[in-house]
Amino acid sequence: MPKHSKKYIDIKTNIDTAKRFSFDEAIQYALDSSYVRFDETVDIAVRLGVDPRHADQMVRGSVVLPHGLGKEVKVLVFAKGEKEKEATDAGADFVGNDELVEKIKGGWYGFDKAVATPDVMGSVGKIGKILGPRGLMPNAKTGTVTFDVARAVGDLKAGKVDFRVDKNGILHAPMGKVSFGQEKLRDNIRAFIEAVQRLKPSASKGAYIRGIATSTTMGPGFKVDPVYVKDLMS
């Protein structure tokens, strides 16, 4: 069992974290529960009515959050020729091809996101087993394998979030920082939930969004009643 701090235990004792709240209440409780000295990330977890063991029920996508993530995102672009200049002009932090592949093989991971043009995926594929487990492998489904590298870099710099349902049918994603305040976090969560709803598999039966919870990096989770999704979208 993980050990929690006294402040964490006090929060769990004084607030009924088993209760289901509205989005505004859950966000505010998460913000109020932040007790550390750094600007924590606010996360969301959404339990879906899908069985990800079946390919036709896999939920995977991305969304550009309207207020970003509140942190600098270092973007690496695998490209060659004129696409290298396009990536550099768009603000990519690292641009190249084989030399970057070799650098990563040597244990370098000084970036947060990676983009690749389709014509260099043969080279990038050589380090798939390195990038994949770290969530850094470019993928066409999330728009990071593309010839439109300027747009891809711009989206990532602006706060694009990739998400994928885990084996338990749960999506996890960061929604911004505690310093954003309730309104900006609510806007980001709305954009995320809208994206998730658009990706509902036709094979998913019954209730699609079955549970939601918000939390800070170090704080407890606060459950949101899914009935409030309609209010969030209004």
Whether 233 shows a pLDDT value over 70: the answer reads: yes
| Nearest-angstrom CA–CA distance, 46 and 211 | 6
How far CA 128 is from CA of 76, 139, 162, in Å, comes to 15, 11, 17
> Contact 152/144 with Cβ under 8 angstroms?
yes
Amino acid (one-letter) located at 199: L
Q: Over the range 144-167, which residues count as b (16 or more CB within 10 Å of their CB) and which as e?
A: bbbeebbebbbbbbebbbbbbbee
Q: Which CATH class is domain 75-158?
A: alpha beta
- For the chain, give the mean pLDDT: 92
Whether 234 shows a pLDDT value over 80: the answer reads: no
Q: Which residues contact 71 (CB under 8 A, 6 or more apart)?
A: 177
Q: Can you list the positions of beta strands (E) in the chain? A: 20-21, 41-48, 60-64, 75-78, 94-96, 113-116, 160-164, 170-177, 209-216, 222-224
pLDDT band at 18 (very low <50, low <70, confident <90, very high): confident
Q: What is the pLDDT of residues 92-124, one digit of tens each?
A: 999 999 999 999 999 999 999 999 999 999 999
Q: Which residues contact 34 (CB under 8 A, 6 or more apart)?
A: 40, 178, 216, 218, 219
**Right CATH for 6-69+160-233 from 3.30.1460.30, 3.30.190.20, 2.40.110.10, 3.40.50.970:** 3.30.190.20
Strands across the sheet containing 170-177? 20-21, 222-224, 209-216, 41-48, 170-177
Angle between helices 82-89 and 149-158 (to 10 degrees): 30
pLDDT band at 1 (very low <50, low <70, confident <90, very high): very low
Domain ranges of the chain: 6-69+160-233, 75-158
Q: What integer pLDDT is reported at residue 12 of this predicted model? A: 62
Whether 128 shows a pLDDT value over 60: the answer reads: yes
Q: What is the pLDDT of residues 138-189, one digit of tens each?
A: 999 889 999 999 999 999 999 999 899 999 999 999 999 999 999 999 999 9
Q: What integer pLDDT is reported at residue 76 of this predicted model? A: 98
Kindly state the DSSP code that residue 220 receives in the 8-state scheme.
P
The 3-state DSSP class for residue 140 equals: helix
